[in-house]
């Protein structure tokens, strides 16, 4: 398969999957039904969710400056904010292209070498991944009895034990094989794991590491809160339990990586998580769509304005 075809498939497949899943979710709950939920939803809770989402993005932009300072670059906050919003918007069109654009914006307007900009973006993704793993671990700890009971109810306990035991043994064999192997794939995996560890440890070598850690935790706290407060806008959800919020949030977060910005996958992921707790289909899908649409409109508005205003902002600054 040629490189050109691979690039085309990399762009079109997520979009095609997103379009299909939009059709599927609207087949499950018609758009007219979702609109009824939107009409009856509390707009105040939705607006608060949007504000919390905005705060998380602003915090991410501010946090980025802590990573660039040790490299000798004191970038303007305005450029950092607009680069972050542009990233999110561009990722809705071409997966991961936003990160490239974000580093390019710093290269064009702040003189930060492209490879250094990409390096800081990768290291912040590592920090985010660590927090996400922490949220998953806490969720498993808090909801262990419920999750275990659900698995036992749906599957044979003996088969579950065998499956986990088998996965554990396969994992050990995989680690042993990778450590000894000198194949290109094994070397790439080892380099990736080494990079993850170095990136994680570099956070603690940062001059303002505690500020960086605070903003990292703040970003994810805002993500969780915006998910929860937006759920309060749907009266039929009736105040969903903490476990549903946590598992729903985790499921929805992973859905964003499946298609461009979670197009089509987000409401399905929310329903899949909520259904475990016996929450009805219609309000689950409606909440997923309202949650995704409100945050997407935020990105479209601020991302679009950022792309328009970036050259104006920097022309003004350079001319002053």
> What per-residue string of b and e applies to 68-98 under the rule 16 or more CB within 10 Å gives b?
beeeebebeebbbbbbbbbbbbbbbebbebb
Closest among 85, 86, 64 to 73, alpha carbons compared? 64
**Residues 260, 258: Cα–Cα separation, whole Å:** 7
The conformation of residue 183, written as its DSSP 8-state character, comes to: S
Give mean pLDDT, residues 106-132: 87
Q: What is the pLDDT of residue 262?
A: 82
CB 54 within 8 A of CB 81: no
pTM: 0.82
For CA atoms 45, 49, 50, 54, the dihedral sign is positive
Predicted confidence (pLDDT) at residue 147 exceeds the cutoff of 90: no
Least confident of 47-56, 120-129, 190-199: 190-199
CB 15 within 8 A of CB 259: yes
Q: What is the pLDDT of residue 159?
A: 66
SS3 283: helix
Domain ranges in the chain are 39-319
- Continuous H helices in 69-156: 77-91, 97-110, 114-142, 144-154
Predicted confidence (pLDDT) at residue 227 exceeds the cutoff of 90: yes
CB 24 within 8 A of CB 208: no
**Residues 255, 245: Cα–Cα separation, whole Å:** 15
Q: What is the pLDDT of residue 179?
A: 76
pLDDT (tens digit per residue) in 60-111:
999 999 888 887 888 999 999 999 999 999 888 776 778 888 989 999 999 9
**Residues 295, 46: Cα–Cα separation, whole Å:** 10
pLDDT (tens digit per residue) in 10-39:
556 666 766 777 776 777 787 888 889 999
CB 104 within 8 A of CB 114: yes
Give mean pLDDT, residues 159-163: 68
In order of 21, 232, 233, the CA distances from 229 in angstroms are: 25, 5, 7
Give mean pLDDT, residues 177-199: 71
SS3 232: coil
In order of 130, 158, 217, 245, 296, the CA distances from 200 in angstroms are: 8, 38, 15, 28, 30
Least confident of 109-118, 159-168, 175-184, 297-306: 159-168
- Residue predicted with more confidence, 213 or 180: 213
């Amino acid at each position: 398969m040629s490189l050109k075809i691979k690039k085309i498939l990399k762009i079109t497949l997520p979009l095609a999957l997103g379009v299909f899943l939009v059709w599927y979710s609207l087949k499950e709950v018609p758009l007219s039904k979702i609109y009824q939920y939107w009409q009856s939803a509390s707009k105040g809770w939705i607006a608060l969710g949007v504000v919390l989402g905005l705060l998380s993005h602003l915090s991410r932009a501010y946090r980025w400056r802590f990573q660039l300072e040790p490299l000798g670059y004191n970038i303007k906050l305005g450029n950092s904010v607009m680069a972050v919003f542009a990233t999110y918007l561009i990722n809705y069109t071409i997966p991961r292209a936003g990160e490239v654009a974000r580093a390019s914006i710093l290269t064009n307007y702040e003189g930060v070498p492209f490879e250094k900009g990409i390096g800081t973006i990768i290291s912040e993704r590592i920090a985010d991944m660590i927090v996400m793993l922490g949220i998953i671990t806490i969720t498993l700890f808090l909801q262990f009895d419920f999750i275990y009971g659900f698995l036992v109810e749906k599957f044979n306990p003996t088969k579950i034990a065998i499956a986990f035991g088998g996965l554990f043994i396969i994992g050990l064999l995989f680690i042993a094989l990778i450590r000894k192997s000198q194949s290109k794939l094994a070397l790439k995996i080892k380099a990736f794991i080494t990079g993850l560890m170095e990136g994680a440890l570099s956070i603690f070598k940062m001059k303002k590491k505690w500020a960086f850690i605070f903003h990292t935790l703040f970003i994810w706290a805002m993500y969780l809160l915006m998910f929860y407060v937006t759920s309060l806008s749907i009266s039929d959800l009736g105040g969903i339990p903490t476990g549903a919020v946590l598992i729903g949030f985790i499921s929805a977060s992973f859905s964003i990586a499946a298609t461009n910005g979670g197009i089509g996958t987000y409401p399905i992921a929310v329903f899949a998580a909520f259904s475990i707790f016996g929450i009805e289909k219609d309000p689950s899908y409606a909440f997923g769509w309202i949650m995704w649409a409100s945050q997407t409109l935020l990105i479209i508005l601020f991302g679009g304005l950022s792309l328009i205003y970036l050259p104006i902002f920097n022309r003004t600054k350079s001319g002053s």
